[in-house]
Amino acid sequence: MSAPFLEVVDVFKSYFLNGKRIDVLRGVSVQIQQGELVSLIGASGSGKSTFLHVVGTLDLPATGKMFFRGKSVFDMNDGEVAEFRNRSIGFVFQSHYLLPEFTAAENVAMPALIARHDPKPTMKRARELLERVGLAERSDHKPGELSGGESQRVALARALMLKPDLLLADEPTGNLDPSTGEGIHALLREVNRDLGVTAVVVTHNELLAKSMPRRLRLKEGAVVNADD
């Protein structure tokens, strides 16, 4: 049998601030299979962002293991971790973090331009991705000339630029009105279905969470099945 796509094993993570210790992740174990679309809910402060940051290697756990396609991620050297993060992970955050001085198409292209990909095909792909998220007409708009929902769709297109294996979305609809938020979730479902991108989506909206095929909850420092 082949190794699971992503396997998180007994991850612990605490923060230390002003001599106080906050135990956030207290033995998180979860397996995610290739192609899954998973929602992650949980109270504010329960550790959802911390969990996504650890999985995306933006932050290190205290203890625990993580295997991506059987390879132990926390045992990789710095270069290997950076490559894993850049090649395999796409992030969408609650704030879009688009660069204000660049157009939508340039923002989408940015990860590939930074990776020194050939600019011409890169810009072509950026425009195709904008078309996929329904923004072909807004390619030359700068972030200040886009609505909140449009900006978040640009951020999603940017996250897809380098064809990630795993998309990690941290409340991508947190700043949007419910119907625009549902549009982003529909888009995530479409991207998951059509491009086969595995995705974990943190949301505070239980209704939107329910629209995902698998639902997880962060509770008391552990990841549990949200339906239990």
Ligand X SMILES: Nc1ncnc2c1ncn2[C@@H]1O[C@H](COP(=O)(O)OP(=O)(O)OP(=O)(O)O)[C@@H](O)[C@H]1O
Site residues, ligand X (CB under 6 A): 15, 17, 22, 24, 42, 44-50
Instruction: In angstroms, give the least distance from the CB of 152 to ligand X.
Output: 16
Task: Please list every residue from 49 through 68 that binds Mg ion, using CB under 5 A.
Answer: 49
Instruction: In angstroms, give the least distance from the CB of 44 to ligand X.
Output: 3
Sole window of 8-16, 47-55, 102-110, 210-218 interacting with Mg ion (rule: CB under 5 A): 47-55
Instruction: In angstroms, give the least distance from the CB of 177 to ligand X.
Output: 19
Give 15's strand partners: 22
Distance from C-alpha of 23 to C-alpha of 16, rounded to nearest angstrom: 9
64 binds, among Mg ion, ligand X, none (CB under 5 to 8 A by kind): none
89 binds, among Mg ion, ligand X, none (CB under 5 to 8 A by kind): none
Instruction: In angstroms, give the least distance from the CB of 174 to Mg ion.
Output: 8
Instruction: Select 30 or 218, whichever has its Cβ closest to Mg ion.
Output: 218
Chain positions contacting Mg ion, by CB under 5 A: 49
